[in-house]
Structures are given as C-alpha cells and as structure tokens.
Amino acid sequence: MRARRHIIPLVWSLAASADESPDFIFPVACRYGVDCFIQNYVDHDPTAGFSDYHCRQQTYDGHSGTDIRLVNLPQMDKGVPVLAAANGKVVATRDGITDTYLDPARREEIKQIGLGNAVVIEHRDGWRTIYGHLKKGSLTIKKGDRVIQGQPLGEIGLSGLTEFPHVHFQVTHHNKTIDPFIGKPDRGKCGDNLNSQWLGIADNKLTYFPGWLLDHGFSHTPPDNYRAIETGSFNNGSGDKNPRLFFWVRFIGLSTGDQATLSFVAPNGELIREYTFPKLKSSKAQQFYYIGINNPAIQPDQPGRWQGKVRLKRTLLPPIKKAFDYAVGVDDVAGR
C-alpha cells in the first residue's frame, strides 16, 4: 500500500504537466523595435469589435495571431529569417505563392490560401505553432523534419492575404487559438501577462507599446501612399532637381485622438514651416504624414543641416517626439 500511495501523486504530477505550454523564443531574427515591429496582436473581443490583450485596438476583428512586420520591401528582399519558436516536428508546409500586395478584387479567391507560404510545427501535448506569409522559395525545411528552437524555417514575405511584409505567428492548443502574450485563450484582466509563453529574454524585450514611428524620409516628391513608401523610393531626395523638399513619417498602431505635428527647421534654428494634422477619428493600423517646402538651398544663408521634426500627441499615453537631419548644400546631399 505504501508503494501505491507514492505512485498516485507521481501519476497526478505527470498528468498535471502534460498540457504545459512550450516556452517560445521570438520567431524572427531581427531587432525588435528597430527593424521589426508587432503590427497586430490576437483579437480577444468575441463580438464584431476588436481588442488586444491590453484592451486596446492594436488588432482587427477575428485576428488569431501575432503579426511581426518589417519596415519595407528592400529589407524583405535582403532576407529576414523566420525561426522555429520551439522544438518540434514539421507537419505541414506550403510554398510557391508569389509575394505581392493583396488585390482587393481577388480577396475571396486568395482567402483559400490566406496565410500564403506557410509552415506548421507540432510540439508536445497538442501544441502547434503556425508561420504564415513566408517568402516564396525561402523554406528551408520540409514536412516530417524535426526542428530545434531557433532553427530557420524560411524568410518573411508578402504571400497570401496580406498588405505588408510580415510573418503571422499563431499558437494553438488542441486547435484552439492561444495568445502567447497571456498563455490562454481568454484575456481576463487587461494587460495580465503573468502566464506569458515567451522565454525570459523575449518576454523582456516584447514590452507592449501601442504605436510606433515606423520610418521617415526626405524626398523631392510627396509619397502617394504607404505602398509607395514601402518600396523604399522615398527614403531620400538626393540627385533630383525638383525644387521642392518633403519630409514624411509613417506610424503603425495609432489610436483614436492621436494628433501629429510636422515641422521644418532651418540650419539657423528658424522654424520655416509647421503643420498640425487633425486628430484621428478612429484607430489606424498604418498612417503616414508629410509636409513640403520650396527648395531650402535658395533660402538666404540657409545651406547646412536642416531638420524635419515630428511630434505625436496622444491621449493617456506619452507623446512620440523625433527629429531627423537633412544636409543641404551645393550638391543637395541627403543625410539621415
């Protein structure tokens, strides 16, 4: 009987740990907050609305994963590895889908392959991770392969139902979506991440931040839209004889009520132009702003280092303030 009494708690202990989650590393080889960012979190609102685990709107209705994005297409073209978040076995792959922006006219057709080029890894006890929107031809593994944590699976791409270069990282347990930031399907208290599934280092660097200044630039023509910016064509204005100069910025994850102000400051400290844009009436996954001036090189005594400044005023959040340099001289050489 004594042996039996000792076996019972041992069996109970093993059963209790059977469904424990794997610990995940950040699944992208990048510098978070510098050249990669979280665009969308898991949606925790069961209604037609949407809400992330902090009860904010950095998600969209029905979103089941974490979208880790790059800044632009040149970065994607260079190749940014997607990594296995934990040890496991590859149980499904898909490749061969072209990297391209979503064509609204083909939305229903593309829904059938929504995640584009993708990898599914099975971990222990019913846990799986899914990696979507990978770059065509970049997969380095195949179905049936055993992978270790941190092993490259492919590269971030623009395949499937997507409008920006990113990887859709999704965690499921017995086919139910789990938010890795809280380790459970239901949010509960706003911002409660005591059961986060991220390993310590990843958990520390993935501090929730609602909104980022994604990138900026100077150009001689105004950017038409965010896709034009993502091509990298508006990162500087050198080599163009157009007499105008534009300063632009692009944000992600903005909230209702956010308000941006852009300004140009001359080398002598004089404020040449400033404009405050209207407050946002709704949350924005992406938002870009720009202002323009006449050629600063013809201003009296104005050659030198100009500044483009941006200030984002936010409700119940600290403002975002940045200043960027642009060198103006005989050759009109851009400097960042």
The tens digit of pLDDT for each residue in 210-237 reads 899 999 999 888 888 888 899 887 765 5
Give 147's strand partners.
88
Please report, for the domain that includes residue 181, its CATH number.
2.70.70.10
Q: What is the mean pLDDT of residues 21-50?
A: 93
What pLDDT is attached to residue 19?
63
Residue 7 lies in a domain: no
Q: What is the mean pLDDT of residues 275-304?
A: 86
Same domain, 84 and 194: yes
Residue 3 lies in a domain: no
List the alpha helices (DSSP H) in 18-94.
73-78
Grade residue 251 by pLDDT with cuts at 50, 70 and 90: very high
Same domain, 249 and 148: no
Question: At residue 3, does pLDDT exceed 60?
Answer: no
Q: Which of 229, 232, 244 is closest to 332 using CA atoms?
A: 244
Same domain, 221 and 289: yes
Using one digit for the tens of pLDDT, what is the confidence trace for 198-212? 997 777 788 888 899
Least confident interval from 5-9, 56-60, 138-142, 289-293: 5-9
What pLDDT is attached to residue 333?
37
Q: How far apart are CA 24 and CA 144, in angstroms?
A: 21
What pLDDT is attached to residue 236?
58
What pLDDT is attached to residue 1?
39
What pLDDT is attached to residue 240?
52
For the full predicted model, state whether its pTM sits above 0.75: yes
Residue 146 sits in which domain range?
19-205
Question: At residue 2, does pLDDT exceed 70?
Answer: no
Least confident interval from 42-56, 137-151, 188-202, 247-261: 188-202
Q: Which of 160, 110, 111 is closest to 134 using CA atoms?
A: 160
Quote the Cα angle for 67-253-166, to 5°: 25
Least confident interval from 87-101, 236-250, 301-315, 317-331: 236-250
- Rounded to the nearest angstrom, the gap between the alpha carbon of residue 148 and the centroid of all alpha carbons in its chain is 24
Stated as kind and residue range, the H or E segment containing 228 is helix 226-230
Same domain, 175 and 284: no
Give the percent of the chain with pLDDT over 90. Answer: 61
Q: How many domains does the chain have?
A: 2
Least confident interval from 62-66, 105-109, 219-223, 248-252: 105-109
Residue 296 lies in a domain: yes
Domain stop point among 168, 186, 205: 205
CB 26 within 8 A of CB 66: no
Domain stop point among 166, 187, 205: 205
Domain stop point among 158, 175, 205: 205
CB 118 within 8 A of CB 132: yes
Same domain, 27 and 176: yes
Grade residue 293 by pLDDT with cuts at 50, 70 and 90: confident
Least confident interval from 72-81, 137-146, 241-250: 241-250
Stated as kind and residue range, the H or E segment containing 109 is helix 107-110
Q: How far apart are CA 284 and CA 176, in angstroms?
A: 28
Least confident interval from 1-10, 76-85, 224-233, 304-313: 1-10
What pLDDT is attached to residue 205?
80
Place of tokens 């958990």: 203
pLDDT mean across residues, the chain? 87
Residue 10 lies in a domain: no
